[in-house]
Structure 1
Amino acid sequence: MNDSSYILKEIKRIVMEQDPSAKIYLYGSRAKGAAKKESDWDLLILLNKNEITREIEISITYPLYDLEFDTGELISPMVYTENEWNTKYSVTPFYHNVMNEGKLI
């Protein structure tokens, strides 16, 4: 079962198991409703932490890659702290794109 609602539910379940306070944004063609069969799942994952260690990043991304393997869907997660996202990246076109067109899941 590789329908969108199943994949979104699994993405949310996986991330919330690791960090229940995480915010997950879907952005790109899937958020815009313009996805094709081969489109990836662009994810921005924001954590309410002071820093993201390699271990924290792995604890979130590796289970998503398992989902990718199980479903055959390409999942592209980016993981940042909320503070890092809202300060360091707030001046970038990427930030404005995600905040304007992304969907919080």
Structure 2
Amino acid sequence: MQLRCVKDGDLKRYTTDKIVGGGVAVDPKAVEDQVVERIVTHFPEVERIILFGSRARGDARPDSDWDFLIIMPSQERTIRRGIAIRQAARIRGIPMDFLVRTPSEIQEGFPMMANNILNEGKILYERPR
């Protein structure tokens, strides 16, 4: 089975002559960089982007999704923030989930899950102060 690179926009995708499970392996760094670039370009007020879950821990399977916590000031309702971020960051064929929270929501005791994300997640972007 030979691995070959397929260019899809700026994202390098690696595929084989025999695609198993309909999946396409991607370069994780390319996905992370592209998500950060797309979000920060559309939302320069973003303070932090944190990758969490199996991709951050390094135990992801090829079909695992990408989980991101986005911390940004906003007056929008949580659902609207998530929709806007999802539309800006979407990469065709890459399953992603986004939690979008304000700094005050994080400080006010965002559920225990946030503590795990903040402690174990991988910071992909932090806005310079």
What TM-score comes out, normalization by structure 1 length? 0.82
CA contact (8 A) 2:42 2:88 kept: no
User: Which consecutive unaligned segments of at least 5 residues does structure 1 have?
Assistant: none
Alpha-carbon separation, structure 2, partners of 1:96 and 1:55: 23
Q: How far apart are 1:104 and its partner, in Å? A: 0.8
Q: Which has the higher strand share?
A: 2
Q: Which has the higher helix share?
A: 1
User: 1:1-105 counterparts in 2 under 5 A?
Assistant: 1=12, 2-22=26-46, 23-49=48-74, 51-53=75-77, 56-65=81-90, 67=91, 69=92, 72-89=93-110, 92-105=111-124
Which structure has more RCO (C-alpha within 8 Å, separation ≥ 6)? Answer: 1
Report the identity percentage. 28
Instruction: Give the alignment's Cα RMSD to 1 decimal.
Output: 1.7
User: Which consecutive unaligned segments of at least 5 residues does structure 2 have?
Assistant: 1-11, 13-25, 125-129
Amino acid across the alignment from 2:54: S
1:24 aligned counterpart, secondary structure: strand
Relative to structure 1, the CA distance from residue 29 to residue 87 in structure 2 (aligned partners, 3 Å threshold; closer, same or farther) is same
Equivalenced residues, count:
98
What TM-score comes out, normalization by structure 2 length? 0.68
Relative to structure 1, the CA distance from residue 21 to residue 4 in structure 2 (aligned partners, 3 Å threshold; closer, same or farther) is same
